[in-house]
Amino acid sequence: MTEGLGLRRVRLILGNSMGGMHAWVWGVTHPGFADALVPMASQPTAMASRNWLMRRMIVDGIRNDPAYMGGDYATQPAMARFVGVFYGIGTNGGTLAWQKNAPTTEAANRILENRMAAPFRADANDYVYQWDASRDYDPSARLDRITSHVLVINAADDERNPPETGVLEDALKRIPNAKLLLIPASPETTGHGTTGNARFYARDLGEWLATVPRRGG
């Protein structure tokens, strides 16, 4: 950013899910680089609990598939598709939205069959690398380095970052100018996927960003 683009400061770093994790890492690694940080669908805490348990199942599920052949496969191992669909259903979609969209066994079966029939375009080795790379994510020890104004946008029904644990609120107490926008759960929200729809937060984000001071340099 500084050497290639010549940027000494940016107005905003915003990211969703893994992008939100990157926003947290930017904040603690380069504390003076952004006026504002908006990490979404993420927490500045260790990769743990259900979030890591399910990611570990993706990695182990693919590696333990005999067709994986230690990563030297000729065709994509079938387990890659299976664990991807499993993780997507288990950690995304929202409880109320799932009840709305799959209120019967037949409806649920149709959704599952459609997902399993969809083309799997990922590469198993890449897939393993992507999920395994998050194992050591944990910016919590350096949160006091953050000098940017921070707006965390999470969803109340986020399966990967459940607000009821209280770990996010505890972390935000260590950041001077931090605020949480928690989107209420509803049949229209989609759990971890909620923040992929800007209608749930665009107005609040715009109003908040207008209050963030611009720093020179």
pLDDT in tens, the chain (217 residues): 777 877 788 999 999 999 999 999 999 999 989 999 999 999 999 999 999 999 999 999 999 999 999 999 999 999 999 999 999 999 999 999 999 999 999 999 999 999 999 998 999 999 999 999 999 999 999 999 999 999 999 999 999 999 999 999 999 999 999 999 999 999 999 999 999 999 999 999 999 999 999 986 5
Tokens 């923040």 belong to residue? 195
Q: Which of 212, 211, 217 is nearest to 148 (CA)?
A: 212
pLDDT at residue 1, as a whole number: 73
Overall pTM > 0.75: yes
pLDDT at residue 6, as a whole number: 79
pLDDT at residue 142, as a whole number: 97
d(CA 36, CA 53) in angstroms, rounded, equals 31
Ranges of H-type helices in 64-123: 78-90, 95-101, 105-117
pLDDT at residue 39, as a whole number: 98
Mean pLDDT (the chain) is: 96
**DSSP letter for each residue of 39-53:** EES--SS-S-HHHHH
What's 104's DSSP letter?
Answer: S
pLDDT at residue 217, as a whole number: 53
Q: Cβ–Cβ contacts within 10 Å for residue 77, how many?
A: 22
First to last CA, the chain: 15
pLDDT at residue 8, as a whole number: 80
Q: Cβ–Cβ contacts within 10 Å for residue 149, how many?
A: 22
